Amino acid sequence: MLRFLTAGESHGRALTVTVEGLPAGLAIDEADFQRELGRRRLGYGRGPRMRFEVDELRLLAGIRHGRTLGSPIAIEILNTEWPKWEEEMSPAPGRPSKLHTQPRPGHADLAGIQKYGFDDARDVLERASARETAARVVAGTLAKALLATIDVGILSHVVGLGAAHAGEAPRPTMADLDAVDTSEVRCFDASVEAAMIAEVKAAAKAGDSLGGIAEVLAYNVPVGLGSHVHWDRKIDGLLAQALMSIQAIKAVELGDGIDVASRRGSDAHDAITYDDSDAQTSGGYVRTTARAGGIEGGMTSGALLVARLFMKPLASLNRPTLATVDVATKEATVSWKERTDVTAVPAMGVVAEAMTALVLAGEAQRKFGGDSVAEFCRNHAGYMAHLGETLSGPRP
């Protein structure tokens, strides 16, 4: 079973991530993590921190000479500003210099203060912050590397930013990933890029924030990851949970999930054809459309996996205007001003790739097993070679 745990506060000394359950022999090095972390820092509308944050890494355990050992992997991501925050975030007994008592509407501040009995929203916000997604991206880099050994590729692109939406442009393939990352808003539809940037500029000028939509695509996913047999083995449920857990995500759509609810069945599903020259992921059974998002009955179908994530505008506003209540005095006020991004939708897509990779890699390991990458790949190849054969041959 592939598991990971992160720890760390946004302005603490470091984030750490422990990843457990990967096979031995997976080729990985620091540059792989840095490439993905660098992609996560991109995006028009990010705040000042993303210009100076460097995501310095320490590979602490589980990797030797560029290969995983099969043991738990532990990685630390140092926070650039720690020296500035050392006193405020010190683990030693003491008191904060200032209490943040005016919770930001839409943030974890108020529910966290109430639930944990805090008198300072910083005790909540430091962990609720999307800084934690850097650790997820590190874990996701390992998951992507495992999936790459069976030729599964994952990418994301932004399809909505504020009121600007991409049209019906063709979906990017893995070969288009650099082009997507080159776009300032990670949008593959060049005709809408300027409108997205204008949206961000206008929101920034107003001291406001913006949400949006990113689409994640997973190519070459083999048929049969996940299962129909239990609610907690259905891969659509696992993906929804993993993607909804990303900070500020309020909805996840798989395939045309929202739209098909108002169509007739004859117009909502993906017709099946057979083409044995296209046997790679699905045993030759080809879906002619991608409405189901590559998932049927809680299992991957071998078709393109498509998930869309809907992100709310960030709760921290550069010009706080929403009414709130000071929890110390119960007086009406607005929140304090916390440094923030205008939007983080382009980065969210990269985080969504990581979470998708972690779910798919976990399910691939459940299906193919293997203590070494070689064994994992052999088992995958054996399964793919015999797709479509019945369990025990002809009935007696």
- Measured from the Cβ of residue 305, the count of other Cβ atoms closer than 10 Å reads 28
Q: Between 123 and 338, whose beta carbon lies closer to ligand EPS?
A: 338
Span of 98-106, 213-221, 284-292, 332-340 interacting with ligand EPS by CB under 6 A: 332-340
Evaluate whether 5 touches 17 at the Cβ level (below 8 Å).
yes
Which residues, numbered 110-129, are part of the site for ligand EPS (CB under 6 A)?
129
Evaluate whether 177 touches 142 at the Cβ level (below 8 Å).
no
User: Which of residues 100, 104, 122, 131 is near ligand EPS by CB under 6 A?
Assistant: 131
Minimum Å distance from CB 38 to ligand EPS?
Answer: 12
* Total of chain residues touching ligand EPS, rule CB under 6 A: 15
Please report, for the chain, how many H helices and E strands are present, in that order: 12, 17
Q: How far apart are CA 78 and CA 264, in angstroms?
A: 52
Task: Looking at 223-280, list the stretches that DSSP marks H as alpha helix, in order from N- to C-terminal side.
Answer: 235-244, 257-260
Minimum Å distance from CB 336 to ligand EPS?
Answer: 12
Q: Between 131 and 234, whose beta carbon lies closer to ligand EPS?
A: 131
Q: Between 129 and 183, whose beta carbon lies closer to ligand EPS?
A: 129
Minimum Å distance from CB 46 to ligand EPS?
Answer: 7
E strand or H helix at 308, and its extent? strand 305-311
Structure tokens at 167: 């049209």
Q: Between 77 and 364, whose beta carbon lies closer to ligand EPS?
A: 77
Task: Looking at the chain, list the stretches that DSSP marks H as alpha helix, in order from N- to C-terminal side.
Answer: 30-41, 49-52, 82-85, 109-116, 122-128, 133-148, 177-182, 190-205, 235-244, 257-260, 345-368, 373-385
Which residues, numbered 149-208, are part of the site for ligand EPS (CB under 6 A)?
none
Q: Between 50 and 69, whose beta carbon lies closer to ligand EPS?
A: 50
Q: Between 104 and 291, whose beta carbon lies closer to ligand EPS?
A: 104
Minimum Å distance from CB 352 to ligand EPS?
Answer: 14
Minimum Å distance from CB 245 to ligand EPS?
Answer: 14
Q: How far apart are CA 210 and CA 203, in angstroms?
A: 7
Minimum Å distance from CB 75 to ligand EPS?
Answer: 15
Structure tokens at 195: 């409108």
Q: CA 130, 82, 10: angle at the middle one, nearest 5?
A: 15
**Dihedrals φ, ψ of 97, to 5°?**
-75, -25
Q: Between 53 and 256, whose beta carbon lies closer to ligand EPS?
A: 53
* 263 three-state secondary structure: coil
User: Which of residues 24, 26, 134, 292 is near ligand EPS by CB under 6 A?
Assistant: 134
Structure tokens at 245: 């857990």
Q: What amino acid is encoded at 382 in this protein?
A: G
Evaluate whether 347 touches 204 at the Cβ level (below 8 Å).
no
Binding map of ligand EPS across residues 27-56, x = CB under 6 A, - = no contact: --------------------x-xx--x---
Q: Between 299 and 317, whose beta carbon lies closer to ligand EPS?
A: 317
Q: How far apart are CA 101 and CA 60, in angstroms?
A: 38
Span of 20-28, 131-139, 175-183, 355-363 interacting with ligand EPS by CB under 6 A: 131-139
Span of 187-195, 201-209, 338-346, 360-368 interacting with ligand EPS by CB under 6 A: 338-346
Q: What is the CA radius of gyration of the chain?
A: 22
Contact between 316 and ligand EPS (CB under 6 A)? yes
**Chain residues in the site for ligand EPS (CB under 6 A):** 10, 47, 49-50, 53, 129-131, 133-134, 316, 338-341
